[in-house]
Amino acid sequence: MIGAILRKYYGNFSGEELKKFIFLGVIFAFTIGVYWLLRPLKDSLFCTISCAVNIPVAKWVSLFVVVPLAMGYSMIVDRYPRHRIFYVLCAIYGALALMFAYFFSHPVYGLDTNNIQQVLVGSKSYSQHVTTFTQWLGWAWYVYVESFGSLMVVLFWGFAADTTKPESAKRGFGIVAMGAQFGGIMGPLAVWLWSSSLGEPTLIFGSAIAIFLTAAMIYIFMATTPKDQLEGYKGGDKPAADAKPAKKTGFMEGFYLLISQPYLLGIFGVISIFEVINTIFDYKLKMLAATAHSGSALSTFLGEFGVWVNAVGLLCLILGVNSIGEKLGVRRSLLVLPVLVAVGVIVVYFNSSLWVVFGTNVMLKALNYAFNQPVKEQLYIPTSKDTKYKAKAWTEMFGSRGSKAAGSGVNFLLRVMTAETFLLVSSVAALGMIGVWVAAASYVGRKHKEAVDNNSIVC
């Protein structure tokens, strides 16, 4: 029955192909479920123990951590088979989650209300932990969750693209995205329902168990999936006309590929411009939320936000938004989100209340995850293995973190401008960036179509 429903919305699958995408969807559901469980806790715990006004600085710190992570990731790709990378990273992130759970439950360094004090920044009061150690632990926690969201998602999609052919991806990546939406609902739902009763440390401990289970599922997937279902895009033997042979440059190879290939720079623009604008929206929501809520109540509010984002995204997938993307094609599909973001910028400019910002964030994030993400991942299919793993890591990790840092730089202006002036300046800047986004999306969409039509590799 489930197979019949999926075939109705996503295409005519063979039996083994359908099993493969359902399995990948379950694995991605766990990955995204863990991230969306940690994400609201990342913001609420940081606001509680390390002061909410430091969020823009934390974004910059995340950027400087991403660079060595990207280097280490590229080295691991060279040395280990792709599935074993999951085992290594799951072991590291799972162990770190257990460490954070321990300290956040500690009677001295933990989240007991007696350990939280109020500090004045300007004319506003914010929460902060009484011990310096836990204040710094909050920064480490923030970077940990940010890096998990970047590295594990990049690794998964690189793995999926490397084991999937273009026509199969058009049918199946929507199913994978649907799995992500289920996980994205369950993770923040746990925070929404249980952060007050069980406490944040217990939820973090649960995330560690889920991370270890993800590694086990990757092992089962590799052991049970037929080899013909693990074959990726070959691209014949015809390289792109403008592609240059990649030199062996170790962990910097991905960076050199990124800056030397217009196609990858275009993808970089598509990713980074959305993240800059999203960071501005996101910061405004969190500042409004931190003013209205504190402690576990803030965790609950942000958990509710996560549930709505992923529930709307799942509804979009159930209603067949993936089939719309298939009819439009990659190029036109890439133009949908920038148009909708432009509408969101205008709406928030005229009404920036908490619930309007909440609703705008929900709609744009949901459409990005449910519609734009599967389309964007198809851009990596007609590319080499080095591009899928090394350049993709630099593009999405450094691009995502760098653009969030850039967005946080814009948010710093709020300290020196009135709220009205900041809203005008940020809105005009966002609309200008959307113009560049549209141009980049159009270019990479055209290059993707040319490569697939010619059975060639872009770069």
Amino acid in the structure at residue 22: I
Distance, CA of 298 to CA of 285 (rounded, Å): 12
CB 228 within 8 A of CB 163: no
pLDDT confidence of residue 30: 93
- Say how many C-beta atoms besides its own lie within 10 A of residue 352's C-beta: 16
Least Cα distance to 376 among 436, 320, 336, 344 occurs for 336
Distance, CA of 20 to CA of 18 (rounded, Å): 5
In a domain, 285, yes or no: yes
CATH of the domain at 52: 1.20.1250.20
CB-side neighbour CA atoms (13 Å) of 301: 20
In a domain, 458, yes or no: no
Question: Which residues, other chains included, contact 224 with Cβ-Cβ below 8 Å and sequence gap of 6+?
Answer: 23
In a domain, 269, yes or no: yes
Distance, CA of 263 to CA of 266 (rounded, Å): 5
In a domain, 6, yes or no: no
Q: Could you write out the three-class secondary structure of the chain?
A: CHHHHHHHHHCCCCHHHHHHHHHHHHHHHHHHHHHHHHHHHHHHHHHHHECHHHHHHHHHHHHHHHHHHHHHHHHHHHHCCHHHHHHHHHHHHHHHHHHHHHHHCCCCCCCCHHHEEEEEECCEEEEEECCHHHHHHHHHHHHHHHHHHHHHHHHHHHHHHHCCCHHHHHHHHHHHHHHHHHHHHHHHHHHHHHCCCCCHHHHHHHHHHHHHHHHHHHHHHHHHCCHHHHCCCCCCCCECCCCCCCCCCHHHHHHHHHHHCHHHHHHHHHHHHHHHHHHHHHHHHHHHHHHHCCCHHHHHHHHHHHHHHHHHHHHHHHCCHHHHHHHHHHHHHHCHHHHHHHHHHHHHHHCCCHHHHHHHHHHHHHHHHHHHHHHHHHCCCCCCHHHHHHHHHHHHHHHHHHHHHHHHHHHHHHHCCCHHHHHHHHHHHHHHHHHHHHHHHHHHHHHHHHHHHCCCECC
In a domain, 3, yes or no: no
In a domain, 1, yes or no: no
In a domain, 436, yes or no: yes
- Say how many C-beta atoms besides its own lie within 10 A of residue 266's C-beta: 22
* Locus of tokens 């990124």: 258
In a domain, 2, yes or no: no
Distance, CA of 92 to CA of 308 (rounded, Å): 30
In order along its 459 residues, the chain shows pLDDT tens digits of 455 555 555 556 667 888 888 899 999 999 999 998 998 999 889 988 998 778 888 877 887 787 677 677 767 766 776 778 888 899 999 999 999 999 999 999 998 888 888 887 666 777 889 999 999 999 999 999 988 987 888 788 777 877 777 777 777 877 887 888 788 889 999 999 998 889 899 999 999 999 999 999 999 998 888 887 777 665 544 444 444 444 444 556 777 777 888 888 888 888 888 888 888 888 888 878 877 787 788 888 888 888 888 888 878 877 777 677 667 778 888 888 899 999 999 998 888 888 899 999 898 888 887 788 778 878 887 887 767 666 776 676 666 666 666 666 666 666 666 667 777 888 888 899 999 999 999 998 888 888 888 888 887
Backbone angles phi and psi of 394, in degrees to 5: -65, -45
* Locus of tokens 């895009």: 233
Question: Which residues, other chains included, contact 230 with Cβ-Cβ below 8 Å and sequence gap of 6+?
Answer: 163
Domain count across the chain: 1
Distance, CA of 395 to CA of 264 (rounded, Å): 8
What is the span of the domain harbouring residue 73?
11-231+239-453
